[in-house]
Amino acid sequence: MDLLAPVSSMMTTEVKTVEPEDTMKKVEQVFRENRIHHIPVVEEGKLLGIVSKSDYLFFKRGFNDQTTDNRIDEFRLKTRKVKDIMTKGIAKLETADRIGVALEIFKENLFHAIPIVDDGKLVGIITTFDIIKKLSEE
């Protein structure tokens, strides 16, 4: 793997997103229909935050036990907004940044996805899975 190559050579460009005013029901649907673990939150293409599958599962389960009424879960999913649980202070890279920089960010932090932005607009995402996949292909 060429660590000096730009992240654009490895990033996913068809990114599933949600908006801050979407409900958590929409987040649930995106996770259920796609094999992903991170959903960038955008408004008019501008990156505002990210929701991880861990964020969603914590929201859904919270501190409740398994006896929670399903109607309460559905109500919470339909009424709570993405902006209420999204992570806001996230790392981001530009398409020209090097893969080595992404690796350093992953190594020093506990997250597994970095949104890629150019001119303030979301253009892709790179995940630890993308890097593992590339290594396994080589």
Q: What is the pLDDT of residues 65-117, one digit of tens each?
A: 555 567 777 888 888 899 999 999 889 999 999 999 999 999 988 789 999 99
Rounded to 5°, the CA angle 12-1-129 comes to 40
- CB 38 within 8 Å of CB 127: yes
- Non-local (6+) Cβ contacts of 119 within 8 A are none
pTM: 0.87
- Sequence length of the chain is 138
Q: How many domains, the chain?
A: 1
What distance in Å separates the CA atoms of residue 121 and residue 106, rounded to the nearest whole number? 22
List the CATH number of the domain containing 117: 3.10.580.10
Strand 113-118: give its sheet, edge to edge.
Answer: 38-43, 46-52, 121-127, 113-118
Instruction: Find the domain containing 110 and state its range.
Output: 7-137
In a domain, residue 1? The reply is no
